[in-house]
Amino acid sequence: MSDFEKTGSALWEAPATGGMRVPGRVFASEALFRGASEDRALDQVVNVAHLPGIVEASFAMPDIHWGYGFPIGGVAATDVDQGGVVSPGGVGFDICCGVRLIGSELDHEELRPRLEGVMGRLDDAIPRGLGKGAVASKRLLDDVLAVGASAAVAAGFGTPEDLERCEERGSSEGADPSVLSDRAVERGAGQLGSLGGGNHFLEIQWVDRIVDEEAAEAFGLSPGMVCVMIHCGSRGLGHQTCTDHVKSMGPAMKRHGIEVPDRQLASVPVQSDEGRRYLGAMAASANFAWANRHILADATRKAFATGLGSEVAMPLVYDVAHNLAKIERHVVGGKERTLCVHRKGATRAQGPGHAALPDDLAPVGQPVLIPGSMGTSSWVLAGVADNPAFDSAAHGAGRVMSRTQAKKQRSGRQVMEALESDDIAVRPGSVNLLSEEAPYAYKDVEEVVRVCEAAGLARPVARLRPMGVVKG
Amino acid sequence: MTSCSRLPVETTAVRLGREDWGVVTTRYETIDHTADVAFIAYGSTLEELFENAAFAMFDITFDLSEAAGRTTRPMVADGDTPEELLVNWLNELLAESETRGLAFSQFGVDRLEEGGIQGWAGGDPIDAIPLEGAPVKAATHHDLAIVEIPGGWWARVVLDV
């Protein structure tokens, strides 16, 4: 096990030894750190510290757990002008997987008697699980890959105002659809506007607690408000893009003389042909993901209108990615530098006054969306000044139990009955799969949020409780 | 279709590093991974190992007990090392499964040599096969291993789900 020591109230650090170029830093409470120590997540923090050009530290957010290559919750920034690398494994197979939160003019008490009608409409409207089936036609694909969510708006999905509340306005800079493989495009063609499976979901929630009234008001959240949270990404197109580039980077690493402790950390200099090709393909895949969540949000609004028999205002609160590498400017060692910031299961969290925020969010900071598990709370946080990890925060509760173990605890049917007994309506893509995603398989999201605040990563704004779950 | 391997190893013994191996009567077994899914596949030959690893990946997502696998697709993959070849073979199968809408249950390796593999996969329409686990996004290189043992091989693969 790696040599980590507690160096702050919510910080654990491993010094740079051996081939590590920077220390490892994990933001965690005693309990969360103990959990991370039980598998190989901490070793993965150390492995990431070996990446060429990495600066400051190899960071892990409070929801850290064992992934493949990077830990889930890993954040690593490399100096682009000093040979810093980009690693497809630091983004993951689900490129630009993220979370979208939609508010509404509905109160949860008002919706409760009509919830079943809305859930039925969502069940019909949201394609999920394996196979084909999508809200949008494949004709839209080329435009989406080039510009992202705005192509979906132009095609009649959602409104231009929505784009103001998307990270990067729902469009990743530098997208180059021409470098996507034919197979990646083929996999994405029938999936634009689909949820996927695994831990992806669409949840009807309500605001049960507000702890920062000013930020909540700026975000458009009020007590009792019905919200919808959507968690999904770039589907097969992103999976194939990552697969393609991890494969091609094997020989490319040899050409660049790069060695990494785990083949899944394959990486090449950002400023190399292979690096530029990956970033162009990654951005095009991210554009698919921004548009995918946008189109699903439009389908959600229509399902609510049909289920309730009248139009309901459902403005976008925010849309944020948690699997992405971005070229950003940050101060390191007293000097502003151009960095490639990898966030693998970590959310961007810009503090008040950040130049990238729209005017109405600038005074309070960027919304940070942290979904819990089915049956527990989710949280909205806000970015804070002087974030110690390149403006990053947690992205979820984080798993604590393997899927195999979770299945042994209860059957999918039992999990569904337990949720329904808590007044949470469930529409699973497959009842069998519910047990893999059961609440007991995840860490305590409240603890993750407490550590985010204690570590200066983000501050809590509002808590959301689930009313209905549409699972992939 | 390949049958169960009968190797002089006991499945749990592989993980424990024991040397008093018994006999394997399974094509694969899943092993714990916090977020994703991992398995150890067995084969009395490298060809059988690749077939059984493919079976493992699809058997984790689908209930293949009633699958006939009558629609066959030719498969090829390349890779500089046996490990690279295994990951590429599995990822080729995943992509083919998704684009053709097939849940594969039957696998054959016709030729396995340095740098390449040729074979086939037989599947049924995805909608006809019940889901058993989370869909697999990709086979990864993390913790990947192929190990020769007396009478055969085993391979460990971590899948992103």
The A residues from 126 to 145 touching B (CB cutoff 8 Å) are: 129-132
Question: Can you list the residues of chain A whose pLDDT is less than 70?
Answer: 1-2, 131-132
Residue B125 forms part of a structural domain: yes
Has residue B4 been placed in a domain? no
* B126 closest CB neighbour out of A131, A236, A264: A131
Q: What is the DSSP string of B29-66?
A: EEE--SSSEEEEEEESSHHHHHHHHHHHHHHHHB-GGG
Interface of A with B in 286-325 (CB under 8 A): none
Residues spanned by the domain of A311: 5-400+442-471
The residue behind tokens 């990947």 is B144
Domain membership flag for residue B6: no
A94 touches chain B (CB under 8 A): yes
Whether residue B1 lies inside any domain: the answer is no
Q: Name the residue range of residue B111's domain.
A: 11-160
B133 in reach of chain A (CB within 8 A):
yes
Q: Supply the CATH number for residue A113's domain.
A: 3.90.1860.10
Asked if B96 has any chain A CB less than 8 Å from its own CB, the reply is no
Out of A50, A231, A342, A395, which one is annotated catalytic? A395
- Give catalytic status of residue A50 as yes or no: no
How far apart are alpha carbons A71 and A55 in whole angstroms? 17
Flag whether B139 is in a domain. Answer: yes
Closest-CA distance of chain B to residue A20, Å: 19
In a domain, A411, yes or no: no
pLDDT for residue A134: 81
Residue A431 domain-assigned (yes or no):
no
B residues 110-129 lying closer than 8 A (beta carbon) to A: 126-127
Note whether A29 and A450 are within 8 A (CB): yes
Do the Cβ atoms of B95 and A187 come within 8 Å?
yes
Average pLDDT, chain B: 87
For chain B, how many structural domains are there in total?
1
Per DSSP, the residues of A221-275 read --TTBEEEEEEE--HHHHHHHHHHHHHHHHHHHHHHT---SSGGG--EETTSHHH
| Residues β-bridged to residue A415 | none
Contacts of A403 in chain B (CB under 8 A): 36-37, 133-134, 161
Judged by CB atoms closer than 8 Å, whether chains meet at B33 and A243 is answered as no
What is the CATH classification number for the domain harbouring B59?
3.55.10.10
Q: How far is A399 from chain B (nearest CA, A)?
A: 6
Q: How many domains does one find in chain A?
A: 1
Q: What is the band of B6 on the pLDDT scale with cuts at 50, 70, 90?
A: very low
Express each pLDDT in A51-62 by its tens digit: 999 999 999 999
pLDDT value of residue B113: 93
Reported as a pLDDT band with limits 50, 70 and 90, residue B8 is very low
Q: Is residue B152 part of a domain?
A: yes
Please write the tens of the pLDDT for every residue from A177-231: 999 999 999 999 999 999 999 899 999 999 999 999 999 999 999 999 999 999 9
